Amino acid sequence: MTDAAKPAQKRQFYGRRKGKKLRTQQQGAYEGILPAVTLALPAGDAPVEPASFFDAPVKQVWMEIGFGHGEHLAWHAKNNPDVGFIGCEPFINGIAALCMQIGEHGLKNVRIWPDDARLLLSRLPAQSLDRLFIINADPWPKKRHHKRRFIQTEMLDKLHALLKPGAEFRMATDHPDLAEWLVEKTCAHPGFEWQAKCAADWQTRPADLPETKFQNKGLKAGRPTVFLNFTRKG
C-alpha cells in the first residue's frame, strides 16, 4: 500500500465523525481491518485509476458515497465478487460496522475512504466509475443548510465526468423534500436520464437493493423510501 497523501483541497464535510462509543468487537474490527482496506492515494495530484486500488483484477468499479453502516455496500460486495467497491464515509461508527461485515464475510473487494468523498473524487480520472450509489444521504432539512446537501449542480457535473457512459447512478431517501431536490437537480442536468416510467418505479425497492435498518426504521415511522435510478448519458 502506498503512503496516503491527502490532496490539497478544502474539506466541505459537515456533521459528526463519531457517535456512541464503539463496542469491543467494533473497536477490534476498526483497528484490525481498517488499516488493510483503507484506500491510500500516492503523493501529488495526478489522476489515479480506481481499479488499481484492489489487489486482484476487477471487471468494474462501483462507489457508494456515505455508506452509513455498510449493509448495502457489503451486500453488493458479497454478491458481486468480481466488482471492486469503494465506500466513502467519514463517520467512525459506520466505518467500524462495515469493517465487521468485511471480516464476517471475508470480503476482499472493498476499499474504504474514511474522509470527505470530494477529496477522493478530485483524484479520479474521467469515465472511471461503472456505478454510483448515494443511499439515505443527510437531508439537511433546514433551508439555510440546503447548500450542505451533497447533490448540487456542480457536484453533478463532477459525477457525470467520472461515470462511464450508460453507468447507473442510484439514490434513495426517505425524506420527501430531499427526494424532490434530488429529482429536480438531477433531471435538470443534461448528462443524466431518470429511468422511472411510472410511480411504481420509484416507490418499489429494487430487487438488488437490500433492506437496511435505517430504511426499515423510516418505514415504521411512516417515511417510505423513494428509490431514484438515473443513467449517465453518453
Q: How far, in Å, CA of 51 to CA of 2, rounded? A: 15
Domain that holds residue 218: 61-232
Strand 129-135 versus strand 60-65 pairing type: parallel
**pLDDT per residue as tens digits for the range 221-231:** 778 999 999 99
**pLDDT per residue as tens digits for the range 182-233:** 999 999 999 999 999 999 999 999 999 998 877 777 677 778 999 999 999 9
In a domain, 187, yes or no: yes
229 touches 206 (CB < 8 A) = yes
Q: How far, in Å, CA of 213 to CA of 176, rounded? A: 19
Q: How far, in Å, CA of 75 to CA of 233, rounded? A: 27
Sort 64 into a burial class: Cβ within 10 Å, 0-12 / 13-18 / 19+. Answer: buried
In a domain, 215, yes or no: yes
Residues serving a catalytic function are 138
What is the pLDDT, as a whole number, of residue 19?
A: 60
In a domain, 140, yes or no: yes
The pTM assigned to this predicted structure is 0.90
Sort 193 into a burial class: Cβ within 10 Å, 0-12 / 13-18 / 19+. Answer: middle
Q: How many domains does the chain have?
A: 1
62 touches 87 (CB < 8 A) = no
- The CATH number that applies at residue 128 is 3.40.50.150
Is 65's pLDDT higher than 50? yes
Mean pLDDT (whole number) for 44-68 = 97
Is 53's pLDDT higher than 90? yes
In a domain, 56, yes or no: no
**pLDDT per residue as tens digits for the range 12-29:** 544 455 567 888 999 999
